[in-house]
Each structure stands twice: as C-alpha cells, then as structure tokens.
Amino acid sequence: PWLKTKLMTSEISSWTERLDGPVSYYPPLRRSSSAHQLGGGGSGPSGAAGSAYNGAVASRRFLRPNLPDGKTAQERGEEREQRQRSRERRGEIHGELIAQTSAEGVLRVAAGIVAAGGELGPNHVVTALHRSAKFASRGDTSIAQDPRWKDLVLRAGSFAPEMLPMSLALSVWAFATAKCQDGPALDAISSAFRAHEGDCKPHDLSGTAWAYAVLEASNLNLFADIAHRSSERIGDFLPQDLSMVVWAFARILCLNAPLFDTVAAAAVEKHKEFAGQNLANTLWAFGHASHLHEPLFACFTQMCIRNMKTLGPVEISTALWACASVAYTTGVATQMFADAVDHVAPLAPRLEVQQLTSIAWSYARVGYRSPGLFATVSREVVGRSLPLEPSEINRLVWAFAYPGRPTEERTGRAGGFRHPALLAHVGAEAGQKLGRLDALQASSVAWAFATLAYRDEGLFVSLGTSITASGALRSFDVQNIAYLTWALARLRVPHPELMRQACEEALERGLGAFDHRHLSMLLWAMARLGEQHRGFWAAVGAQVPGIYASHLDDAQGVASLAMVIHALHKAGERPATLKLLESVLAKDVDISGDAYGGWLSGSQVAGDVETELHLWSHMSKTAPSHGLRAAASNKYVIRALELGHRARAVEGLELQAEAGLTNAVSPLLRAKAGLEGGDGIAASLIAQPLGWRPRMRSEGVKQARAAGRVLCKWDYYKEVGVLEYVLARATPGDPASVCLAIEAFSREEHLYLKLGAEEKGLALDAMLRSVASSFGDTPPLIVEIGCYVGYSSTRMSSKLPPGGRLVTIEVDCYHAAIARSVLELSGMSPRVEVWIGHSENLIPRLMSRFGPNCVHAIFFDQKGTRYHDDLDMLEDGLLAEGAFVCADNVVRPGAPEFMWRVCDPAGRYETQAIAHRDYGQDSVEDWVSLSRFCPSEASREPAACPAILEQLAYESDQIRNRSINERVTEEEWRIFATRVRREFEEAGILPPVLYPQGNGGGLSDLFVELQPWRRHPPLVVPSAG
C-alpha cells in the first residue's frame, strides 16, 4: 500500500530502497510537527531527499524504516524481488480488468482471479465494480443478483476502511448504477467516508450524495457531514458538483435550507458555467424541495429565455416544472412560459411522455392558458399512442381539467381543455392499470372526467368495482372520497356498493374529519344518486347543522352551505336544514342567495309558510345592499298578502318604512293591504343612490349619458340598477312601460342584460300567438325557467288571455325578489307565480299543482346545456300535445344537445329558429328556437347525441362562464357563434331560420311571421288544474 501513497516521490523511493529494513506504516502526525527522528535518535536524510522526506512527515501519514532485523543482504534482495513481482501481478490484474469491454467480461476476470488463488486488492475491487456497473447500465442488463457481483460488493465493504475517498465514491457510484442496495456494504462505506471527510474533494462529496440518494439510502449522519463539508468548500465546487449535491438532498427529501441557500448563491455566481443538464438538475432539486430562492430562479429563468432555442427536452420540461412547483410566477417566469409555447411545438416529437405530462401540469399549475400547447400535448400522446404510468395519468388528466386559474377553487367552473381523443386514450390506459392506481390517482381521474363532462361509464364502473373489491377505500383520505363520489354523481353513474362503502368510511372516520367543501361534495353526491344509507343520513342530520353553524363566519363554510342545503332537501332531511337555518337566523348574518334559495324552495314545497316569511324578513335586514334589502322587504309583504296574512303584511310595511326601505312599489302594497296614506309614502321615498363612478375612456361607449359614469361593480349591481331605474321611470300598472324602461336601462348604461327583449321578444310574442291559435279558449299555462329581473315574465303575462297563468322558476332568490317588485309595479303580479329553486327539483311540482299535460308553452332562459335535461322531465306527462317550446340563446352561447333533440326530423318536435342580434353586438347572430311538441307512434326515441355536439356543449359552458367573470369581446362571440351554426349544420341540425321584418320604422315596427306548422296533432284539452 505504501507504493500507492501520493506523497511518495522518486527521492523518497530511492532513499527507502537503500535502508537496511522494510518500510511500514506509522501513525499520522499533526501537520504542525516540525522535527521527527528516525530509529533511536538518528536524523533524517539531508538535501533533496531530506526535503521530500520532511514533506512526507508533514502529511497525515508518513513512512519509517524498521530497525535492522539481522537479515542478510541476500534475504533482503529476495524480499525486494517478491515485492516487485507482487507489484507487477497487481498491475497485470488491473490491466486485465481494464481491457474488458463488457460487464460479463469484468466479472469473469475477477472471479477467475479469485478461483485461481489470486488476491483482489481494494483498487482491483473498485475497478471491477465501477467498470461492470458502467457496462451493465449501457447494455441495460442487471448484475445486482449475480454471485460474482455480490462477492465484489462483500469485498468492497471489508476493504472500505483502507480506501481513499475517491475509491469510496466510485464504489458507491457503482452500487447506485447497478441498483444494488447492500446494507452492510453501504454502512461500511458510509463510516469510512465520514472518517475521511476532511480529505474529500467536491466531486467525492457530490458523487457520494448522488449515489446514496439514487439508492434511497437516507443515511442522515452521512448527509449531515456532506452538507457541512460542502458548505465549507462551496467555492471549489464545479456546476456539476453543485447540481448533484442539491439533487441528492432533494431526492431523499433531506431539506437542508442552509445548504440550498449556499448552493444557490454559488450557482448564481457561476451561472455562466452551467450546462443545460446542470441547470435542469439544479432547478429540479429546488422545485422538488419546494425551496424558492428568488435570485436563483430569476437568474436561471433568464438563462432559459436567452438560450431557449438550445434547450433540449429535459431542460425545458424541468425548468417549467420547477417554476410551477414553487409558484414562481413573476414577470420573467411568465415570459419564459410564453416563449416556451413556440419552442415546445417543434420539440414535441422528441419529448418523452413524462416530459409531456410535466409540461402540461406546469402550465395548468401556474394558470397559463395556452390552447395551442395543450393541443400539442394531446396530439403527441394520442398520435404516438404513448403508454402512461399511473403518475402520468394523474398529472395529465389533472392538467387538462384544472380550471387554469389557481385562485378559482370552485369545482366544475371554466378553464379545462376537453380533448375527447385524449380522454379516451387516458381512459383506456387507466382501465388497464386499475390495480396500480393509488387513492390520489383514482380520485383525480374520476374528478377530471367529471369536470370535463366526459362520461366513460365503463371506466367508472370498473374503477368502482376495483376499489370496492379490494377494500382500497380504506386508504383514501377524505378529500379523495369526496372527489370520487362527487364525480360519480356529476356524471350520473350509479355504483351502489361504492356509495355504501363511502358512507361507512365517513361514519367510521366521523363527518368532522371532512372540511366544509369536501363534506358538501359528499352530501350532494349521496343525495343526487339517491343513497339511502340510514345510518349515514342519521349522522348527517345530527352533526351537519352544528358543523356548519360553527363556521358561518368562514368564507369556505358559507360557500359550501348552499350545496349542503340542497343535498339535505333532496335527501328528505328537512329537520336538519331547519336546525341549520336557526343558527343562521340567530347570528343575523347574510348568506349566499343560492343558500337562501335552497331554504325557500324547501319551504315552498313543504308548505312551510312561517319559515318562508321568516327568511324574507331576515334577508330584508341582512342583504348586502340597500336595493336588495328593499326588494326582499317588498317580497315579504307580497308573499304575506298572497298567503292571506294581512297582519304580517302590515307589520312588514311598517318595518319597511322605519328602515327606510320604501320605494315606488310600497304605495301599491299599502293599497293592497288596505292601508291609508299611500300617497304620502310615495312622496317621501327614501332614495339611496347607486354607486356611480366616472367611466374610463377605455370602456368606450356610444351613449352620451353613459359616457360620463358607470355603475360600480358590487353584488347584484346590474339587477339593483334595473330595479331602481324602472321604479323611477315606469308607469305603475303599465307593463309596456316597465319593459321599455328595462330595455332603456340596458342601452343607456351599456350593460348586457340577459333579457328576452327587442328581437327576442318577437319570438315570445309569436309563441303566444301560436298558443292562442292552437288551444283556443283554454286558459293556457306558460312555464318559464330563468326569471332573472322579470322582463320576459312581464311581457308574456301581459299578453295572456283571461285565466291564463305563468309560472316562472328562478334559482337566485335575490333575482326573484327584484322580479317580484317589477311584476308588482307592472300590475301583472296576480297572473304570475314565482317559484324559487333549481328546475330539476321544481318541475315535478307542476304535476301536483296543475295536473298532467298542463303545460301549453315553455320558455327556457337558463343555462343552455340544461335545456334538454329539463325537457326530459317535462315530456314525462307534463307537456300538452301541441305545446310550444321556446328556447333562448341556442347559438350564443349555445344549446347543442337540446337542438339535436328538437331538430330530429323523425323525433317529437317540429322546429323553427328566429334569428336576432343582442344589443350592442350587431355582428353576432343568435337564434331563439320555437318548437311544437307533436308526439306520435311514428316518433322515435332521441338518438344518442354525437360526440361533436357534446364537445360543443362543453365549450359553450366555458365561454358562458368566462362571460360572467370577464369580458368576452364581440369578435370572440362572433367566431364562436359562427362555429356553432357550422357544427349544427354538420350534425344535421337544419331548422328553417326566420329573420324579423319591418317597414323601416325601427324596433317597434319589426315582426316575425312563423312558417306554417307541417304537423297537426289532435287538439287535446288539458284537464283543469
């Protein structure tokens, strides 16, 4: 071993050869030692040899000759010859190992030497391990179980104390490359490495850390020593060493923040020396460790931008993923994401599936919506039929379904990219790997498919069966259970056994283990799929009111409350809803309009007058604005009068006056209640001005009045603005003036209101004329779904014959309150019933209220993608033969599945379309469809909707949701509407399109002349309701 000592010089060798005794090791001396004696007091050599000798003495180890042992010169010569032969043999062995070009060759040579009685020294073992592992990795062969390899590993462990740090690092590198996790050998090498810590070079430190990380051998003491020594010598580290050491610490999640900060500072200083792989590994480490070091990320993202064209698949995918992982979304990061879109497209054929999924995940995570990039990812995955591992399935479907705005947490809202071909591919891959999907992956697939409205019933049934059969639901956390059950309910895929097990899991863990949002999702899912687990619902009734009542000041709890209330009503747990309502009323806080709507809907269905009136009284005190409180106060009085509670109505009017909530409707209500002094009240109305602000030039409008000011945006600001405008300008008792005032408000304030006005109104008028001609003197029942502020209700009810009724359904109770005031002002209130709640819950109520075949006309004015579901319910014994179905906005934003149903030539409907243009968007052509219900024996059941229309329906919801939260330009609407009409034509949806005609006298001169209906069903007089 002394021949290997690096401190040995030629002078020392010459000198030791002349000594009279053999050379042996001596314990190390301190570096500060200045004078040492040999033997019994003789001094060391002088001159050049003495200088070399003194250098050796100053090292950690030095050589000393033994005293004369009485051997003859011949004996010493023989020993020298033996040592020379040994040296030559060791050199031969080393040469044989180096000469091999395969792992098999290296292992064969090493085993042959041992079998022949030869000796493998530490250097030979290291060389054999290193070269065999290197060749095996190149040939993709496994040697970890080979007995010859195992023998080398055993020898490496025994030789570890004699090895230098470089040899130790090479040995453990070989272990990692061959995926050999030999605990005793790794422990021995770790101990030896720590003993030589002070002699380690940067590459030894980084290489050893890398190897132990690859083997997932998280020796914390070793890593602590490496971190300490690396921090001390960080200035000597090359870029590769810097990237390797932080990569290793991140890989085993040994998150040593001081080390990461030290490495980051050194990396920024040496960033010009970083190659692409070093940059990628460094960013990956900081991303995986969730360690945001802003100077490092700023420096490296700028490097990526400057060198974008030279970045390969690994570099670009890792850089994007790292920024997304630590939420680094500053301006420079946004620029990198923008520039990378164009770089990824030509690079895509070279990207592996892991890189494609990471890129998609990164863009979704930071909220950078790039349809082109996601289309590229989809095209590559589908076009190349790439196999997907469970983790890749999870990342991919989450990325395509995620809303695209990190702050938007509402499930099912806009943002996802629905690519049917990709979802079909992912579904097939997931179906083949059901047993390998963990809880997160299984729930992510289900959630993504439901969010993207992609119904793969076979996959969902198989997934549910796999989970229930294996008992895997026990490993799901509460969030996974909530998302899985919500997805089944959203797509209406029943799986009773899975739902039963989910109920039992929820009971075992306790409902309190769920946070508000996930508990509301679970309850909604159980209610929608009709789960009847009595133990579950008993626990819900006992615990849920308390859970939510204690968090009414929490925004998340309030946001989830509406879903809980609707679920409890649907499940028949009304006592629980009332108990929860008591808590809300006791705290005197304002809850969302949708939550109030759930309570009001349940109260109307149950005939619970007291609760209904109590709710309106509460809303008149707690609504978020003066206008809404006034509308709620009016609604309280109107409802009390309708129910015959005059004393309650009078009390409400007095409270209204005390609170300053009187308006132009108040005198009319006082007169109805038989109170005097209505005129005085009208003269002393307490005016609460709307919130006005100067209109910015960038909001460019055409009207002179609107050019100076605009309504501030707060909850229901447009609807309250309509009400106050109408109350100030319309003539009481004149429905035409009320409708004109609403239209004028929309024009003057340059605000889009979803009204059946102007050209749309002509379609409603045409429908009512058709009803009158088809049903003669029979008092018609008109049903409207989507009341909004009451414009179409007022217009239609004013044209009904004596005895005619209109039922309008509105999900938002504040909209309903405003509409009630509008109807009261117009004088149409006696003809109209305003039902509050979701259409799916209230349409069945028509049967009990009016009897079978009672509906003569229906006007759909809610979300277009719900029209066909509501039509299904109406066809089940509620529509009279010959009834008319009118639907608004079937092109913009669209109702593809509904139009497929009513335009089927062999179906139950005959349909015409009336073209119109909404106010302020003259280039966008929309349609109002008008259909006649003509069932016959020859009518066929609805055919399955084509995939192209399902995709169009999803995108219709996306642009509709965008228009609620942000501005969709006229050009965007024009392009989308043109596409809808084109795809209608491709699918065979070809109704005759009618255009309003006139004599040039403006809107008031327009009219629509319907084509003759080709089918003439027999006149059936509905039974009296």
**What span, in angstroms and rounded, lies between the C-alpha atoms of 824 and 842?**
23
Return the exposure string of 504-541: e unless at least 16 CB atoms fall within 10 Å of the residue's CB, then b.
ebbeeeebeebbbbbbbbbbbbbbbbebebeebbebbb
What pLDDT does 44 receive?
Answer: 38
927 strand-pairing partners: 915
Q: What are the tens digits of pLDDT across the range 732-744?
A: 999 999 999 988 8
Start-to-end CA distance of the chain, whole Å, equals 109
**What span, in angstroms and rounded, lies between the C-alpha atoms of 817 and 786?**
13
**What span, in angstroms and rounded, lies between the C-alpha atoms of 511 and 568?**
15
Backbone angles phi, psi at 911, to 5 degrees: -130, 140
Q: Please state whether beta strands 62-65 and 23-26 pair in parallel, antiparallel, or not at all (unpaired).
A: antiparallel
How far is residue 647 from each of residues 132, 600, 643, 672, 825, measured CA to CA in Å? 97, 21, 11, 12, 22
Q: Are 628 and 720 in contact (CB under 8 A)?
A: yes
pLDDT at 247 over 80: yes
Instruction: Report residue 754's pLDDT band, with 50, 70 and 90 as the boundaries.
Output: low
Both structure tokens of 262: 């030290």
pLDDT higher for 582 or 860? 860
What pLDDT does 560 receive?
Answer: 79
pLDDT at 922 over 90: no
Instruction: Return left, alpha or beta for 920; rule: phi > 0 is left, psi -120 to 50 is alpha, else beta.
Output: left
For residue 70, count other CB atoms closer than 10 A to its CB.
6
Backbone angles phi, psi at 269, to 5 degrees: -65, -35
Longest dimension (CA), the chain: 142
Return the DSSP state at 939. P
Q: Which amino acid is at 512?
A: G
Closest to 631 measured CA to CA, from 586, 602, 664, 609: 664
What pLDDT does 582 receive?
Answer: 87
How far is residue 326 from each of residues 296, 319, 461, 507, measured CA to CA in Å? 12, 11, 37, 37
**What span, in angstroms and rounded, lies between the C-alpha atoms of 874 and 855?**
8
Rounded (10°) CA dihedral 864, 865, 866, 870: 80
How far is residue 534 from each of residues 419, 507, 531, measured CA to CA in Å? 40, 11, 9
Rounded (10°) CA dihedral 411, 412, 413, 415: 110
Residue 960 parent element (H or E)? helix 947-965
SS3 for 506-550 is HHHHCHHHCCHHHHHHHHHHHHHCCCCCHHHHHHHHHHHHHHHHC
Q: What are the tens digits of pLDDT across the range 171-201?
A: 999 999 998 888 899 999 999 998 887 788 9
**What span, in angstroms and rounded, lies between the C-alpha atoms of 695 and 56?**
87
**What span, in angstroms and rounded, lies between the C-alpha atoms of 512 and 939?**
52
Both structure tokens of 921: 């968007």
Instruction: Report residue 689's pLDDT band, with 50, 70 and 90 as the boundaries.
Output: very low
Both structure tokens of 72: 């003859």
When mean pLDDT is compared over 63-67, 324-328, 412-416, 673-677, the highest value belongs to 324-328
Residue 979 parent element (H or E)? helix 970-986
Both structure tokens of 490: 């959203």
pTM listed for this prediction = 0.81
What pLDDT does 969 receive?
Answer: 86
The arithmetic mean of pLDDT across residues 616-621, rounded, is 91
Q: What are the tens digits of pLDDT across the range 333-375?
A: 999 999 999 999 999 999 999 999 999 999 999 988 889 999 9
Q: Across all residues in the chain, what is the average pLDDT?
A: 83
Q: Classify 24 as helix, strand or coil.
A: strand
What pLDDT does 198 receive?
Answer: 76
Residue with tokens 């909001």: 699
Q: Are 163 and 192 in contact (CB under 8 A)?
A: yes
How far is residue 108 from each of residues 115, 143, 150, 157, 172, measured CA to CA in Å? 10, 12, 13, 20, 21
pLDDT higher for 1025 or 325? 325
Q: Please state whether beta strands 692-694 and 62-65 pair in parallel, antiparallel, or not at all (unpaired).
A: unpaired
Instruction: Report residue 753's pLDDT band, with 50, 70 and 90 as the boundaries.
Output: low
Instruction: Report residue 678's pLDDT band, with 50, 70 and 90 as the boundaries.
Output: low
